Amino acid sequence: MGGLKWTRKSTARIAAELENHGIRVSAKTVGRLLHQMNYSLRVNDKRIESGLRHPPSPQKRNRQFHHIVQMRKSFQDAGHPVISIDTKKKELIGNFRNAGRSWQKQPIAVLDHDFRSDASAIAVPYGIYDCQNNRGLVCVGTAAETPALAVDAIAYWWCHERPLYFPRATELLILADCGGANSARARVFKWRLHHQLCQPHQVTVTLCHYPPGASKWNPIEHRLFSEISKNWQGKPLLTLRTMLNYIRTTTTQSGLEVNAHLLRRKYQRGERVADKHFRELPLSRDSASPDWNYTLPPTNGESIFP
């Protein structure tokens, strides 16, 4: 077996290999012949699921998507808010290269390596997208991505953004991925959500998680996060203020408005909820994929952190 199999097969390499076999041909001719044989330059196609020990069946995935559509329609028809939540990619704050291009007379000089030790902070943007009003909120933390950060961001949205459009809301539907800080299996997320949102504000919260490997269909990904990335592409995020300003000035022709808030709390990993406290949660699971759909109503008890 020759070495051509294990190298990038450019037209120049193929032409050189053909010449070794007594066939003299130019690289351009090789390219033309490849096109005639239906070859073309292609990128890898990300369509095979990985990392799942027990991937859900296609029927279960489709059933969950239909359930989410029905739940969204039900809440919207009743005038209750529907929000999509997720954590955006962490960003190094400092004079680092940012992907993309921007109009400049001269390229912006940035550091040649992205070392975390050179960053003034590591930003953790947690986003909340209001599906009915095309409005986003990004709460930026400067520590770890934790369930506590996620719940703090949701509680901030409920207190500061929700009154603008849903002043009398008593129910909330949350659309989330199956992993991360707001994972379907995160006990701390459920426990904090009940004690920081359901109890103090007397609101019933229903959660629907997208199946594993289906986060691309979460509305926040293509309605909010992609637009923020477009707005700051090619611009170094020199300071946290720079980052917040780019988030706040993100708009689209469809009328997207975005607000940003800095969470100064230092979040620590490794938080646990004792079995006794978790069993006390009034968690009711839906018959349709109970691992991915559940409701947390308020109770008459006090919200006391263990």
The answer to whether residue 5 is domain-embedded is no
For tokens 């993309």, the residue is 100
112 shares its domain with 149: yes
Residue 34 CA to residue 73 CA, distance in Å, equals 50
The answer to whether residue 52 is domain-embedded is no
36 shares its domain with 90: no
The answer to whether residue 53 is domain-embedded is no
147 shares its domain with 82: yes
The answer to whether residue 47 is domain-embedded is no
For tokens 């390499």, the residue is 13
22 shares its domain with 114: no
143 shares its domain with 17: no
Beta strands in 82-203 (DSSP E): 82-87, 91-93, 121-130, 135-141, 171-176
Q: Which domain holds residue 279?
A: 58-296
pLDDT, residue 104, reads 85
The answer to whether residue 303 is domain-embedded is no
Task: Give the end-to-end CA distance of the chain in Å, rounded to a whole number.
Answer: 66
Q: What is the mean pLDDT of each run of 10 residues along the chain (306 residues)?
A: 69 90 94 93 75 75 95 97 97 94 88 93 97 98 94 98 96 96 95 96 97 92 96 95 96 95 93 93 92 93 49
34 shares its domain with 120: no
pTM reported for the whole predicted model: 0.83
Residue 259 CA to residue 129 CA, distance in Å, equals 10
pLDDT, residue 4, reads 62
The answer to whether residue 216 is domain-embedded is yes
Residue 302, Cβ neighbours under 10 Å: how many?
7
Which letter does DSSP use for residue 196 in this model?
I
pLDDT, residue 304, reads 46
Enter the tokens of residue 34.
Answer: 């490849």
112 shares its domain with 206: yes
Residue 175 CA to residue 71 CA, distance in Å, equals 10
User: Rg of the chain's alpha carbons, rounded to an integer?
Assistant: 25
- Count up the domains in the chain and report the number: 2
CATH number at residue 214: 3.30.420
28 shares its domain with 137: no
194 shares its domain with 286: yes
The answer to whether residue 62 is domain-embedded is yes
71 shares its domain with 133: yes
pLDDT, residue 13, reads 86
Residue 265 CA to residue 288 CA, distance in Å, equals 37
163 shares its domain with 15: no
The answer to whether residue 167 is domain-embedded is yes
144 shares its domain with 23: no
Task: Check if the beta carbon of residue 134 is closer than 8 Å to that of residue 223.
Answer: yes
pLDDT, residue 9, reads 79
